Structure 1
Amino acid sequence: MFRWSEIKAHFKIMNPYIAFGFILFFAGLVVGGTNSAFSDYLEQQLKALGNVAESLEQTENPTLAFMVFIFLNNAIKSIFIIYIGAIFGIIPIFFLVLNGMVVGFLLQHVAETQGTGDMLTVVLGLLPHGIIEIPAIVVACAYGMKFGVLLLKAIGRLIIPGKEAGKSGREIEYFMIRSVPVVVILTVALLVAAVIESTVSVWVSSL
């Protein structure tokens, strides 16, 4: 049985990684909104999302289809990103920066082509689910980065054996145990975000 006190204690340990995750996301947001060098790539990303949205609109129940797609897409990616972080924590870093760039590019593109009034509508449309979804993704990536750091330490201790040679196994085991309740919390949070995004956010964006 997982104790909330233990989960909170581990979140405190993870605070530096979570803070760094937010820094990466907002750095990506600034780059996506100000640097035109990535515009072609980011336009392709938004176009791909638009094509998916069009396909979902053709279903019998678009709201449910959007909800299921958003939830599965975010939940699977978030869980995957925690454990794929084992590859030196590189993919979680890339994932955070890319997501920030897409959001920054979207806001900048709307402001340029449709004016600040429409940009405000987009921001208001992102807020209802974004206040849950973005922190959840940042936390997932923070855990992915932590996993990468643990494995790098383990490799270092294998190369240069010393008193702490057996410490890595215990650290990784502890991390894996602590990651299970985090996965559950993130899954629930992303389910709530998907419900809001497919209902409230759509309604706000249409105002």
Structure 2
Amino acid sequence: MDDRPGLPARLFHRWLLRYVPVAALILFASVLVGYGFASQIPAEWLQNPGTTGENPFMPAELTTLSLTINNLGALLVMALGAVSLGAMTVLSLVLNGLLIGVVVGIALKQVSPVVVAALIVPHGLIEVPALLIVAAVGLRFGWQTIQYIRGRTDGLVTGQDLREAGWLLVTAAVLIVIAAYIEANLTLEIASRYTDTNLSGVAADQAAIVSP
């Protein structure tokens, strides 16, 4: 009889239990710093409606496909922590956190907290976990590499590591597609229920919170 834990249990204990909290702490701390910076940036930093294509963080048109491609690219950069001792993962978490904090802080100068929450929460509840899952992969591989260099482990990466990381990356990719669909098709409709303001420009910048 096979007494080994199932795949979900292995993924949780070997990858998520330790590394997701670390990634979340880095992201949250960076959000707070970014929010503090927002008070020093004029509200005009958010572009007017219809100028999305001028934002270097965003595709010219906010569609499910364009958002999926943009955010998968961001997660790929984060996953490069696996081959950079975790450095790219940490840097990506910090940059995304700073951007989230700055954009939210500036958006609050233009619309109410309820509207800002409506612009972020529906897709963010799916998008941020995907980001943290990929961050966990990058951080774990980075830590394993450091331990190998220090002579603490005999092997660098096992076949089991690669298979489990593959499952996590696929899961994150699926979550990104779902979040992109919500962001492209439902976000403005939900947020518009709470204000008469034209939210096109604000929504475009809110969409930049996960970017390379």
TM-score (norm 1): 0.76
In structure 2, the partner of 1:51 is 54
Match of 2:166 among 175, 180, 205: 180
Q: Which has the higher helix share?
A: 1
Match of 1:96 among 69, 90, 93: 93
In structure 2, the partner of 1:59 is none
In structure 1, the partner of 2:70 is 73
Cα distance in 2 for residues equivalent to 1:136 and 1:68: 17
Structure 2 counterpart of 1:176, one-letter code: L
1:1-207 superposed matches below 5 A: 5-14=6-15, 15-35=17-37, 51-52=54-55, 55-56=60-61, 66-111=63-108, 113-114=109-110, 117=112, 119-157=113-151, 167-169=154-156, 171-207=157-193
Range with greater deviation from structure 2 (197-206 or 133-142): 197-206
Cα distance in 2 for residues equivalent to 1:55 and 1:80: 21
Q: Which digits, 9 at most, give the CA deviation of each residue in 1:118-158, with x for residues without a partner?
A: x320111111100000111011011101111111112122x
- CA shift for structure 1 position 190: 0.8
Cα distance in 2 for residues equivalent to 1:123 and 1:136: 19
Q: Which digits, 9 at most, give the CA deviation of each residue in 1:103-127, with x for residues without a partner?
A: 111121122x325x2x320111111
On the 8 A contact 1:150/1:172 being kept in 2, the answer is no
| Counterpart secondary structure, 1:132 | helix
Structure 1 counterpart of 2:9, one-letter code: K
On the 8 A contact 2:31/2:99 being kept in 1, the answer is yes
Cα distance in 2 for residues equivalent to 1:188 and 1:179: 14
On the 8 A contact 1:24/1:96 being kept in 2, the answer is yes
Cα distance in 2 for residues equivalent to 1:36 and 1:127: 20
- CA shift for structure 1 position 80: 4.2
- Alpha-carbon distance change, 36 to 83 in structure 1, aligned in 2, over 3 angstroms: closer
| Counterpart secondary structure, 1:114 | coil
Cα distance in 2 for residues equivalent to 1:36 and 1:69: 27
How many residue pairs get aligned? The number is 181
- CA shift for structure 1 position 173: 3.5
| Counterpart secondary structure, 2:84 | coil
Cα distance in 1 for residues equivalent to 2:173 and 2:159: 22
Structure 1 counterpart of 2:178, one-letter code: V
Cα distance in 1 for residues equivalent to 2:6 and 2:117: 35
Cα distance in 2 for residues equivalent to 1:49 and 1:16: 38
| Structure 2: 5+ residue stretches without partners | 194-212
| Structure 1: 5+ residue stretches without partners | 57-64, 158-163
| Counterpart secondary structure, 1:168 | coil
Structure 1 counterpart of 2:149, one-letter code: I
